[in-house]
């Protein structure tokens, strides 16, 4: 009887784990679809200056200077690449291109994160719910705690095999 109870418990636990994996994959899919849908609205089509551009344009001259761009790390990082006329200022159009590029990067990183989470979830023996995944420009950082060192290395290898991952920073600890 005890053996039957244990077998029933293990079977139930496996079924719960399968359902949890399916639920997480569905949530990741919905999250990716939501991120894609949100990028469909183009704030550059609204009349007047973009609110985010106006907030950076502190002196209200219609341009964002390198100094004004310091207030937004992503604009600062993309400043030289999107200063198309090389005048040291971003026009509203140049700013819009930089922000569009940033939105594409965020969406691409979100897709990579979802792929990594799905790959970890599909891998047996990896407690994927104990591992946090963050992606920035294709660089993936894994954090969390697992029960054995071999799980840490397996999680890193699985992550590195995902399409779009440039580098893996495996900061998973063993408890």
For the stretch 150-169, pLDDT in tens is: 999 999 999 999 999 999 99
Neighbours of 110 (CB within 10 A): 17
In angstroms, how far apart are the furthest CA atoms of the chain?
A: 81
| pLDDT at res. 94 | 93
- Rg over CA atoms, the chain: 22
Is 90 exceeded by the pLDDT of residue 106? yes
| pLDDT at res. 50 | 85
Neighbours of 130 (CB within 10 A): 16
Q: Which domain holds residue 114?
A: 2-174
Angle made by CA atoms 156, 158, 160, in degrees to the nearest 5: 65
What 3-state class would DSSP assign to 61? coil
Q: Which two tokens stand for residue 147?
A: 């029960």
Distance CA 138, CA 163 (A): 10
| pLDDT at res. 146 | 96
Which residue spans within the chain are E strands per DSSP? 64-65, 89-90, 131-136, 139-146, 167-174
Which residues are paired to 131 by β-bridges? 144
| pLDDT at res. 10 | 53
Mean pLDDT estimate for the chain: 84
Q: How many domains does the chain have?
A: 1
Distance CA 108, CA 76 (A): 20
Structure-token match 């400043």, residue found: 79
Q: Among 169, 170, 162, which residue's Cα sits nearest to residue 113?
A: 162
Neighbours of 75 (CB within 10 A): 22
Which CATH number belongs to the domain containing residue 84 in this structure?
A: 1.10.238.10
| pLDDT at res. 1 | 59
Q: Find the mean pLDDT for residues 25-32.
A: 62
For the stretch 37-91, pLDDT in tens is: 554 455 445 556 689 999 999 999 999 999 999 999 999 998 999 999 999 999 9
């Amino acid at each position: 009887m005890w053996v039957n109870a244990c077998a029933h418990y293990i079977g139930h636990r496996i079924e719960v784990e399968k359902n949890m994996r399916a639920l997480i994959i569905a949530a990741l899919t919905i999250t990716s679809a939501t991120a894609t849908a949100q990028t469909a609205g183009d704030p550059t089509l609204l009349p007047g200056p973009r609110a985010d551009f106006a907030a950076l344009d502190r002196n209200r001259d219609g341009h964002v200077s390198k100094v004004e761009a310091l207030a937004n790390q992503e604009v600062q990082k993309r400043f030289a690449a999107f200063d198309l006329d090389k005048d040291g200022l971003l026009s509203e159009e140049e700013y819009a291109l930089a922000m569009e590029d940033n939105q594409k990067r965020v969406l691409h990183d979100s897709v990579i994160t979802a792929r990594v989470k799905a790959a970890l979830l599909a891998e047996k023996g990896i407690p994927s719910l104990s591992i946090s995944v963050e992606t920035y420009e294709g660089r993936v950082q894994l954090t969390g705690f697992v029960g054995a060192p071999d799980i840490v290395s397996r999680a890193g290898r699985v992550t590195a095999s995902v399409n779009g991952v440039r580098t893996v920073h495996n900061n998973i600890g063993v408890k």
